[in-house]
């Protein structure tokens, strides 16, 4: 019995060792600090505009700040933005850089006890779905809200639960100029249904690729649910190929597997800017807006830092970081929604008919559209 008791004690000690050992390995990271920063937050938020505007003085204040922003983001420029934000405000950023799907999953998994302050990804319908669950901070206006141009303002929901940082087209048509002569270029989506394009068109899987769902939902909005379903069914009948995401689909276009693809226009612009043989066509019936959207957690552990970050995204200083392809890669080829900002010269501006996709409707129909597409088009 004595022996038994001793062994029990030893094994309990071992359990203790487990916790301390594993905890010890990551003491530098720690947990996200909740309450501690809330007290100081009010004071710092009031002078946030000053600190973001004044670049030079910002670095001197950085040492004194003990705020930490937890940013869940799927943007190419998020690391650069996090660095610039820390430099400007002194607020440390813990960046969780992932794809949109995993981010949304994580937010939903944490919904009763959130650990994030700001979420940022492409697709307002996905963000709207989070808003519908009451997870986002509503009715707060960033101090630089007035910076928005009219397109920008039109993309802000009435409850101000999220804010667009820029806009791309959920899809445009890209053709391989080595394989298709200018006279054969399609002019509208429906041109791709002709026998000329049989087996030569590809797009992404909306269940995997972030920007593809808004494209599919937009088509349903443009042509009506029945018309939209008919369009994709006909495309499939004409040999439509489905790949996983922009990268694979682009590769298929460039190595001649297909002659035309329908993907996010910033990815096409980025490839074209690199010198790939691509012509971008904005179909005459219109392309669908795909804003990147940034939102604050309703129960953000560090609300003040979160608000500052959103203001930083809408500021000229922040936009400059986002618009630099050296910092943001393909994601930097977006259309600004802030007055006075100019897009990268590689982006076509004229002759684009924008169709604003209703995020509310798309969010509402999301699971129905997704499963229809998967069961009827992908399979």
Partner 1 sequence: MFNNHALRKIREWLGAAPSLLIFLILILYPVLALLVQTFLPHMFDVHMSLKPSLAPIREVFANPLNFIAVLNSLELGLAAAVVATVFGTICAFGSVRAGRLWRIIIDTGVWIVFFAPSYVIAQGWLGLMQDGGIAAELFHLPNGWSAWFFTKYGLAVTMGLRYIPFVYFAMTQAIVNIGTEFEQAGRLLGASRRLLFRRITLPLMTPALLAGASLAFAEGFGDFGFAAAITPSTHIPMITYQIYALLDQAPVDYPGAAGLSLLMIIVMGAAFWLQMSWVKRRSYSTVSSHSRVKVTHEPHRFSPAVLGALVILVVALVLPLGSTVLDSLLKSSATGVGPGNWTLHHYHQVMNLGNSGVGSLRRTFVYAVITGLLTMVFGLYLAFQMMFKKTVAIRIINTIMIATIAIPGIVLAAGFIFAYNAVWLIPVHLVIYGTPLCLGMAYLAGTLPFSIRLQLGAMNQMSPNLTTAAASLGAKQGTILRRVVLPLVRGTAVSTFFMALTGTMFELPASSLLYPAGYPPFPEVIQQKFNAFEYARGSALTILGMAIVFAMYAIGRLLEWRLSKGSTTSKGETAPEPVMQSRTESVTVG
Indicate the residue among 115 and 272 with the shorter CB distance to partner 1: 115
Q: Is 208 in the site for partner 1 (CB under 8 A)?
A: yes
Cα–Cα distance, 379 to 375 (Å, whole number)? 6
Q: Name the residue among 89, 92, 48 with its Cα closest to residue 67.
A: 92
| Residue 106 touching partner 1 (CB under 8 A) | yes
Which range touches partner 1 (CB under 8 A), out of 104-112, 155-163, 283-291, 352-360? 104-112
- Contact window for partner 1 (CB under 8 A) among 41-49, 184-192, 307-315, 371-379: 371-379
C-alpha 85, offset from chain centre: 18
Task: Report helix, strand and coil shares of the chain as percent, to nearest 5.
Answer: 50, 15, 35
CA torsion, points 350, 355, 359, 364, in degrees to nearest 10? -150
DSSP-H helix ranges across 164-245: 212-237
How far, in Å, CA of 107 to CA of 59, rounded?
32
Q: Please tell me the count of residues contacting partner 1 according to CB under 8 A.
A: 72
Tell me the three state secondary structure of residue 118.
Answer: strand
Give yes or no for residue 1 binding partner 1 (CB under 8 A). Answer: yes
Smallest gap from Cβ 367 to partner 1, in A, equals 5
53, 101, 185, 280: which one contacts partner 1 (CB under 8 A)? 101
Residue 246 falls in which region: left (phi positive, over 0), alpha (psi -120 to 50) or beta: alpha
- Nearest residue to 360 via CA among 206, 232, 223, 221: 221
Q: Map the footprint of partner 1 across residues 292-311, applying CB under 8 A.
A: none
Residues of span 122-181 touching partner 1 by CB under 8 A: 126, 129, 133-134
Residue 277 sits in the site that holds partner 1 (CB under 8 A) = no
Among 222, 252, 280, 352, which residue sits at the site for partner 1 (rule: CB under 8 A)?
252
What minimum distance in Å lies between the beta carbon of 36 and partner 1? 14
Whole-number minimum distance, CB 176 to partner 1, in Å? 12
Query: Could you say which of 187, 198, 244, 353 contacts partner 1 (CB under 8 A)?
Result: 244
Contacts of 123 (CB under 8 A, 6+ apart): 100, 210, 211, 213, 214, 290, 291, 293
- 19 is a site residue for partner 1 (CB under 8 A): yes
* Binding flag, residue 37, partner 1 (CB under 8 A): no
Distance between CA atoms of residues 91 and 66, nearest Å: 7
User: Which of 77, 85, 116, 120 forms a contact with partner 1 (CB under 8 A)?
Assistant: 116
- Do residues 333 and 325 touch, judged by C-beta distance below 8 A? yes
Cα–Cα distance, 359 to 379 (Å, whole number) = 26
Q: Which of 118, 156, 254, 271 binds partner 1 (CB under 8 A)?
A: 254
The one segment of 57-65, 88-96, 309-317, 319-327 that binds partner 1 by CB under 8 A: 88-96
Query: What is the nearest approach in angstroms of partner 1 to the Cβ of residue 336?
Result: 24
Distance set, CA 23 to CA 14, 26, 29, 31, 329 (Å): 14, 6, 10, 11, 36
Tokens of 202: 């590809």
**Quick one: 147 or 245, whose CB is closer to partner 1?**
245
Q: Would you count residue 236 as binding partner 1 (CB under 8 A)? A: no
Options 13-21, 47-55, 136-144, 162-170: segment touching partner 1 (CB under 8 A): 13-21
List Cα–Cα distances, 239 to 48, 247, 279, 288, in angstroms.
Answer: 54, 20, 22, 24
Q: Which of 40, 177, 222, 247 binds partner 1 (CB under 8 A)?
A: 247
The sign of the CA dihedral 216, 220, 226, 228 is negative
Nearer to partner 1, 199 or 227 (CB): 199
* Residues numbered 309-368 forming contacts with partner 1, rule: CB under 8 A: 366-367
Which of the ranges 68-76, 168-176, 177-185, 343-351 carries the binding residues for partner 1, by CB under 8 A?
Answer: 68-76
- Contact region for partner 1 (CB under 8 A) — 148-156, 214-222, 243-251, 280-288? 243-251
Nearer to partner 1, 225 or 370 (CB): 370
């Amino acid at each position: 019995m004595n022996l038994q008791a001793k062994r029990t004690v030893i094994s309990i000690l071992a359990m203790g060792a487990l916790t301390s050992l594993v905890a010890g390995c990551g003491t530098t990271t720690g947990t996200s600090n909740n309450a501690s920063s809330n007290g100081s937050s009010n004071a710092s938020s009031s002078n946030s505009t000053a600190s973001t505007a004044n670049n030079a003085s910002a670095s001197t204040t950085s040492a004194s700040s003990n705020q930490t922003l937890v940013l869940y983001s799927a943007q190419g420029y998020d690391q650069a933005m996090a660095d610039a934000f820390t430099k400007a405000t002194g607020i440390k950023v813990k960046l969780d850089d992932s794809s949109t799907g995993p981010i949304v999953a994580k937010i939903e998994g944490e919904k009763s006890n959130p650990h994030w302050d700001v979420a940022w990804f492409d697709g307002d319908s996905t963000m709207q779905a989070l808003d519908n669950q009451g997870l986002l901070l509503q009715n707060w206006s960033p101090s630089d809200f007035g910076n928005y141009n009219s397109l920008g303002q039109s993309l802000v929901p009435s409850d101000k639960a999220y804010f667009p940082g820029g806009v791309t087209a959920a899809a445009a048509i890209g053709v391989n100029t080595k394989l298709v002569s200018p006279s054969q270029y399609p002019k509208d989506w429906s041109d791709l249904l002709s026998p000329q394009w049989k087996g030569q068109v590809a797009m992404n899987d909306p269940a995997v690729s972030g920007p593809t769902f808004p494209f599919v939902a937009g088509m349903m909005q443009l042509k009506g649910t029945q018309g939209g379903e008919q369009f994709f069914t006909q495309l499939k009948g004409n040999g439509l190929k489905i790949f996983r995401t922009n990268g694979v689909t682009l590769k298929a276009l460039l190595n001649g597997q297909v002659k035309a693809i329908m993907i996010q226009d910033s990815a096409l612009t980025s490839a074209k800017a690199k010198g790939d043989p691509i012509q971008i066509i904005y179909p005459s019936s219109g392309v669908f807006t795909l804003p990147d959207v940034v939102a604050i957690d309703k129960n953000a552990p560090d609300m003040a830092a979160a608000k500052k970050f959103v203001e930083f995204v809408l500021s000229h200083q922040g936009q400059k970081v986002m618009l630099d392809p050296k910092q943001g890669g393909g994601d930097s080829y977006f259309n600004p929604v802030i007055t006075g900002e100019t897009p990268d010269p590689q982006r076509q501006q004229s002759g684009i008919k924008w169709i604003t996709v209703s995020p509310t409707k798309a969010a509402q129909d999301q699971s129905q559209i997704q499963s229809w597409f998967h069961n009827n088009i992908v399979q």
